[in-house]
Amino acid sequence: MVAAVLFTISAVAQTSGNIPDAPGTAPAKPNPSSPGAMVTGGGTKVGTININEAIVGSNEGRRDMETLNKKFEPKENELKGQNDELEALKKQLSTQGDKLNEDTAASLRRQIETKQKEFDRAYQDFQEEVGNQQQEIASRVLKKMAPLIVKYAQDNGFGVIVDTSKMWPQSNILWWTESVDITKPVVDAYNVQSGVAPPPPPSSGAAKPSTKPSSGSGAAKPTAPSSGSASKPQ
């Protein structure tokens, strides 16, 4: 994802002379004192943007991620059923193991082992499929958002924009302040350009199924694509 961000925005920046204004907006003039600016000792304005937050925070990104959630609900429920069955068998072995004869106990253990492997394999396939489709959505939105990021930076006199999607030590950014962040204005401009209306709020009565993997599986909880935004260190 990081490589995609760097390549997309770098390519856009090299051809940014022909970037059109967002619909309904007038061309902005460079404003060295605009919010979201930090001026270094050499006079270069530095801003930050959380790319992941911008993608899933846009109306289009949120809409598509929520659609993906619904698409994978049946598979998530299926995984939950597999996990519940596996947990029941493990509980049976744990509570009745000393009362079972050797053959019955051995058969139950083999059954647990087989179902554990089936669950782990199905869970891994689920995670990979979800991740791939999340990546497709993110790449599609970013490709259209990248020109706005470059244009906003140029119109407001920024010399550097850094991505804060990851925290140190995953990235080289140790700390930043909210005042240099341009995520919101970029998302606002993208929403105007895309023309996508905000998706309706989720039903308060709809409970999300929890597919907790069986203990000992070594797998994390299967989670449908997140439609929210990552929290930002303060």
Report which secondary-structure segment, H or E, holds 93. Answer: helix 59-96
Cα torsion 35, 39, 43, 45: sign: negative
Domains of the chain, by residue range, sit at: 2-16+31-194
- Return the residue matching tokens 């308060």: 204
Q: Strand 38-39 and strand 45-49: pairing? A: antiparallel
E strands along the chain, which residues?
38-39, 45-49, 158-163
Q: Per-residue confidence at 201, pLDDT binned at 50, 70, 90?
A: confident
What is the C-alpha to C-alpha distance for residues 17 and 19, in angstroms, rounded to an integer? 6
What is the C-alpha to C-alpha distance for residues 193 and 190, in angstroms, rounded to an integer? 5
Per-residue pLDDT of 28-79, as tens digits, reads 444 444 445 555 555 789 999 999 999 999 999 999 999 999 999 999 999 9
Predicted TM-score of the model (pTM): 0.68
Kindly provide the b/e burial profile for residues 5-36, where b requires at least 16 CB atoms within 10 angstroms of the residue's own CB.
Answer: beebbeebbeebeebeebeeeeeeeeeeebeb
pLDDT value of residue 13: 53
Q: What is the mean pLDDT of the chain?
A: 79
Q: Show Cβ contacts of residue 216 under 8 Å, excluding neighbours closer than 6 positions.
A: 116
Per-residue pLDDT of 99-141, as tens digits, reads 889 999 999 999 999 999 999 999 999 999 999 999 999 999 9
As a whole-number percent, the residues of the chain with pLDDT over 90 amount to 56
pLDDT value of residue 11: 52
Which DSSP string corresponds to 101-158? -HHHHHHHHHHHHHHHHHHHHHHHHHHHHHHHHHHHHHHHHHHHHHHHHHHHHHHTTE
Q: Show Cβ contacts of residue 194 under 8 Å, excluding neighbours closer than 6 positions.
A: 58, 59, 60, 144
Query: In this structure, what are the phi and psi dihedrals at residue 46, rounded to the nearest 5 degrees?
Result: -115, 135
